[in-house]
Every structure is written in structure tokens, then in C-alpha cells.
Structure 1
Amino acid sequence: MQENWEDQHIVFFDGDCGVCNFWIQWILERDQHDRFMFASLQSDFGQKFLSERGLETKIFNTLYLWKPGQYYFVKSRAVLKIANVLGGVYKLLAAGKILPVFLSDQVYDLVSRNRMKLANQKCFLPDQQQKKKFIEV
């Protein structure tokens, strides 16, 4: 585990979801500036994050992006912020902020409801370097 995770953007995701794991792998491959860390919502760290904010702790259909001490984003806004933080061409996706949250979250929810059907269900196994980016406490 990276020692300074408090300085990172932390992506909380459903560790049992193939679609979620695909997107975590996608972010890992594009995180050229080492700005992201990851924690499954099922982990002790994920459960603590959820309970401290009064969020659902048993249903894992929501992506969260947290910058400790600054902000956290949910669902479509988390996706757009991740694109913005990745920078480069991905920053263009952040233009999606012009859509009202209720519309972009409807699209997010549609994908979320059908993610198990969409998932290839292949298990993502991070390499040694990538493992350092996962918070397991």
C-alpha cells in the first residue's frame, strides 16, 4: 500500500463486479501521474468510508471518488472527475458536466443495473506495481 494515500484520489468500487474491475484496470493503465488509489467497497477501508458518511454499506452499485479532506463524488460525477484528473484527451469527457446530474446519473444507473450482464466476469489480477495502488485496510 502506498504510504501517502491521503494525497491521492481514491476510487471506491464493487470488488465483485467484472465491469467495475475492467474500469479499474482501464484507469490503472492510464494513470500516468500516479494520482489514483483504489479500494473495494467491500473492504474494511471501503466500509469505513461508507459508514462515516451514512451511505449504504451492503449494496455496492455506486462508484465513489474521494479526495481526502477535499471532496467526494458519486456515480456519473465521479466518472467525469476521474476523466478530468486523468487529463489529456480524457479531460474532454469532463464536458459531460453540462448535463444535469439527474440525467447523467440515469445513464449511470442503467449501466449499473445491467453491469453483471455486461461483465465478462474474468478476474482482474493486478501486477506487483499495480497492487501498491490498492488500499486493503
Structure 2
Amino acid sequence: MSQSSVILFDGVCNLCCGWIRFLIRRDKKAAFTFVALQSDTGMTLLETVDLKAENLTSSNINTIVYIKNNQSFIESEAVLEILTNLGGIWRIFGVLRLIPLSLRDRIYRYIAAKRYSLFGKRTSCFLPTPENEKRFSL
């Protein structure tokens, strides 16, 4: 699998799965590959990116991870980097980088910690539709 633009997401989180569906509909160039954190591929990829500084492992990860050209982004920076790379009108969200990273990540972590209670949790991992299956690595 090419690691040029890979998004690792929580495959049982309704908010996260909604975010992935949002991206699929808008990513007309099919630039992103999607991997559930719970999958074998997701766990393997987590081991290859430098998350040690963040003290994250596959068992305690509470963030989306965006890998682009062997560089990894997490939390709010991952979301903003994804939107910027999505292109078009979505690049406007890059202006949110004017907000200090510590504040953005504090908000991100609050939502991440409450995501199951606010948006619900699936009983099984998100499965792509047949037409989008090639965009996922399971």
C-alpha cells in the first residue's frame, strides 16, 4: 500500500465514520486511502509512524492520524492538514492554524473523549461500500 496520503481513523466511532464518508464524497481525485485503527494494517502503520513523542500506542490512541509522504499529523493538525489537502473551498479552514495548537488540541481531545457518548459507537468496524472499497486498506 502506498503511504502517500493515509488516514487512520476509529472504525467503530460514528463521528469518525461520518468524517470518512464526508471525505470520500469530496475527494474527487481519490487522493486519500483510509485505514481503520482497529485493523491489522492500522496497527502496523501506527508502529511505522513516529507517535512515540506523543506517547500513543495502538491500544490507547484517541486521535485521527494522517500520514502524508512519511510525515504524520495527529489531532487538530491532522484535521486541518486533511482539509487543506482536500483542496477547493476546504483550504479556507487552514486559517484555523492561527489559533494556538495547544487550544485547538484541547478542544479536539475534549470532543474525542466524548465522541462515543455524543455520537454513538458501532458494534463492528466501518465497512466501505463496494464502489469505495479500493480506497480502504483493511
Structure 2 length as normaliser, TM-score? 0.86
The alpha-carbon deviation at position 120 of structure 1 amounts to 4.8
> Structure 2 residue aligned with 1:129, among 128, 131, 134?
131
RMSD of aligned residue pairs (Cα, Å): 1.8
Q: Deviations over 1:36-56 (max 9, x none)?
A: 010011111111122233431
Q: Secondary structure in 1 aligned to 2:45? A: helix
Is it true that 1:65 corresponds to 2:57 in the alignment?
A: no
Contact 2:3 2:67 in 1 (8 A): no
The 10-residue stretch of structure 1 (45-54 or 20-29) with the greater mean CA deviation from structure 2: 45-54
Q: Deviations over 1:77-136 (max 9, x none)?
A: 000011101111111011111111111001101110110122155685432121110011
Residue 113 of structure 2 corresponds to which residue in structure 1? 113
Contact 1:13 1:60 in 2 (8 A): no
Unaligned runs of 5+ in 2: none
Residue 3 of structure 2 corresponds to which residue in structure 1? 6
Q: 1:65 corresponds to which letter in structure 2?
A: Y
2: distance between equivalents of 1:114 and 1:67? 27
Contact 1:10 1:66 in 2 (8 A): yes
Residue 75 of structure 1 corresponds to which residue in structure 2? 75
2: distance between equivalents of 1:120 and 1:25? 16
Q: Deviations over 1:3-28 (max 9, x none)?
A: 6x333x11001111111101011111
* Matched-pair identity in %: 31
2: distance between equivalents of 1:37 and 1:128? 15
Residue 36 of structure 1 corresponds to which residue in structure 2? 32
Q: 1:128 corresponds to which letter in structure 2?
A: P
Q: 1:135 corresponds to which letter in structure 2?
A: S
Unaligned runs of 5+ in 1: none
Structure 1 length as normaliser, TM-score? 0.86
Contact 1:13 1:40 in 2 (8 A): yes
2: distance between equivalents of 1:102 and 1:37? 28
